[in-house]
Structure 1
Amino acid sequence: MLTPWSDWSDCSVSCGKGSRTRQRTLKSPVELGECTEELDQVEKCMLPECPIDCDMTEWNEWSECNKSCGKGHTIRTRIVKLESQFGGDSCPETIQRKKCKIRKCSRGQANSDEKQRRKEQREKRRSKQGRAEVAAEHPGCKMRPWSNWTDCTKRCGGGIQERLMTVKQRFKTAQLSSCKDRKEIRACNVQPC
């Protein structure tokens, strides 16, 4: 003679996959032979998925300063290994930037750097004149298309690339704050060396 089954226990976990049990007992001792009925049962139970927090690599080393003299910037990057799921902590920033200044530029050097930069911009503009020009969402001005991304500053270990969108024409109605050149920066070659 056996008692009825007990109620199922709570699931053994608070989220995800677990198990639960129930029991019954002998009402009276067995007089002949033995009782072969099972006295315990176990079954799987499933609760809502457990939250999974974002998982990221460690920060890479800071990149070299992007200027050889004067004020510049340096960046470091990290990669998302696993996006958050089921309400886990979301991913924080993957790129950090800080100012750097190696040494003051001498006047001659600053001027030659500026001239070189202007020359490169002129050459870029000439090479893009054949392309269709696009108007960006900038009230009061006409913008040139995005330039190509620059070469990555590093072959591995996290470098940076930049691209520019420059103002082609500023209308009289334009406010200075709404009509200006734009620059985008992104991480590249973030694989370890």
Structure 2
Amino acid sequence: MSSVSPENEGLKKGEVNFKANGQTQRIVSIVLGVLLTLAVTAFITILAIHLKAVDGGWSSWGEWSTCSLTCGSGGKSRERSCTNPSPQYGGADCSGESEETVPCNTQGCPAVDGGWSSWGEWSTCSLTCGSGGKSRERSCTNPSPQNGGTDCSGESEETVPCNIQGCPAVDGGWSSWGEWSTCSLTCGSGGKSRERSCTNPSPKYGGADCSGESEETVPCNIQGCPAVDGGWSSWGEWSTCSLTCGSGGKSRERSCTNPSPQYGGADCSEESEETVPCNTQGCPVNGGWGPWGPWSTCSRPCGGGNKHISRSCNNPSPQNGGTDCGGPARVWMICNRQACTRK
């Protein structure tokens, strides 16, 4: 006489309730649907790890472009793309070129000889007297020479004399003296100066230049200077830290210029540079996955159980604000799908 386990007795009672109650049947259908979705998700995850590489393949050539020239040897091109199929999962890219260019309209172009445009307007005479000159221009653009045609003959610019009458001589005259400059020293005998120019009027047409000097210098602040001891300026801005983490250093400077030592005064005492530690916190370390562990034991010996593999974010572990590992730490799959046999 065969014995019936408590588990099998529960299954038989469930079968009776399943047949007797339509609502229970719907609940069981929903549970089975969820289990099937989990199984498919686990299968896709495992499949993605082992996908086969797909090498790229060329598409058909596109249409030829319009020729770049109507004569004299132009070029046209066409293209194709590495999308039939595109390389995936580490597959090789397409070999060969994606663009092809060939010559077109190779026949020679007819020669066009150049022709002069009309003359432009005369320029203003370069002088008001004493024989100046004025000019006018034209260009070889009516038409421009092309395809081996000859250039225009003759000159592109014409110059003729103008205002040829002589100019009267003008002697130079001094302008007024300018303002005195600031004294070169505040003490200890400096100097200051002022200037004038031979521009009132400037000498022209053989006229005489101005006589005398254009600059005048006199002494100023001739008294002796007292000794001035040096003084420190304010500290400058801190430099950028030498490290972003792990204990770097930053510094700032000052100069002995407030005031600078003068006339035998003492130099500044102490240091002109100060250095302090900065960014002493540890550097961030992003987490990395360790190897996958072994598969767990199936949760059921038959009738469809679950097993999983796990990995840890410890290779290395995230530290000091580093990012955690991306991706799943555990993957599930269905196991022992065979039906359970009754004893």
Common fold, TM-score beyond 0.5?
A: no
Short-chain TM bin: 0.3 to 0.5
TM-score by length of 2: 0.22
Higher RCO structure (Cα 8 Å, ≥6 apart): 1
Larger radius of gyration: 2
Q: TM-score, normalised by structure 1?
A: 0.35
Where is the strand percentage greater, Structure 1 or Structure 2? 1
